Chain A
Amino acid sequence: RKEVEQDPGPFNVPEGATVAFNCTYSNSASQSFFWYRQDCRKEPKLLMSVYSSGNEDGRFTAQLNRASQYISLLIRDSKLSDSATYLCVVDRSGNTPLVFGKGTRLSVIA
């Protein structure tokens, strides 16, 4: 089993749609959780951190369920510019490398 598993993509949605991505992680000792966005042939960029209390940043809402080891990302009112690959990322602890999920490709269509 991979340490971080994500929904298989791709997701093709119309502008204005709401789309949800799911992710599970296997290492219960993981401490920090993130969603990154990666555009084609570019480096990943931090979209948002994920907290148990849930957090929202504009049209983006992230949620963490430690008991289920489950992370989610909700995008409301999708824009064309949201088209990218979304990576679920886990930080075990301290100065250890981030562990990346395979990513879910989102295409927002006009």
Chain B
Amino acid sequence: GAVVSQHPSWVICKSGTSVKIECRSLDFQATTMFWYRQFPKQSLMLMATSNEGSKATYEQGVEKDKFLINHASLTLSTLTVTSAHPEDSSFYICSARDSRVGYTFGSGTRLTVV
């Protein structure tokens, strides 16, 4: 139980375009989801906390207008990278906490901006 489905697994896009990443909790309700980013050989860094029905909370240094988060239901949170640039190429991963099993992660999205 407590599965988070994330897609796409990987995406290649042109510079200047936008990319949407979805995370769904399949068998539990996630009022809160966490979005992380991981650059090569670096740790997972928290980008933002997504709250169902309210605005996301962004970490310092993360541009909220560039990384749009929507958490419109208890089972779906989306991250949209707007006007993507090569420096946004990274591994993006979501996480949610289920009361039964603790934290669970999506399988991650590898974004490459060319």
Q: Which residues of A contact B (CB under 8 A)?
A: 41-46, 87, 91, 95, 97-103
Contact = CB atoms under 8 A, between A and B. Distances in A.
Contacts of A97: 34, 36, 46, 49, 95
B49 A103 contact: no
Contact of B107 (A43, A46, A87): A43
Nearest to B91: A41
13 contacts: A41-B110, A42-B107, A43-B105, A43-B106, A44-B44, A44-B105, A46-B102, A97-B49, A97-B95, A98-B95, A100-B36, A102-B43, A103-B43
Interface in B23-58: 31-32, 34, 36, 42-46, 49
A76 B105 CA distance: 27
Given A87-B43, A97-B34, A102-B43, A43 B93 contact: yes
Nearest to B94: A43
Q: Lowest 6 CB-CB distances: which A-B pairs, in order?
A: A102-B43, A43-B105, A97-B34, A100-B44, A100-B43, A43-B108
Nearest to A98: B103
A45 B91 CA distance: 15
Contact of B108 (A42, A99, A101, A102): A42
Contacts of B46: 97, 99
B109 to A, nearest CB: 10
Contacts of B32: 95
A41 B40 CA distance: 9
B97 interface: yes
Nearest to B4: A43
A97 B32 CA distance: 9
Nearest to A6: B43
Contacts of A91: 103
Interface string B84-114: 0000000101010100001101111010000
A56 B85 CA distance: 45
Contacts of B108: 41-43
A98 B107 CA distance: 16
Given A42-B108, A46-B102, 20 more contacts: A41-B91, A41-B110, A42-B107, A43-B93, A43-B106, A43-B108, A44-B105, A45-B105, A46-B103, A87-B43, A97-B34, A97-B36, A97-B95, A98-B34, A98-B103, A100-B44, A100-B45, A101-B43, A102-B42, A103-B43
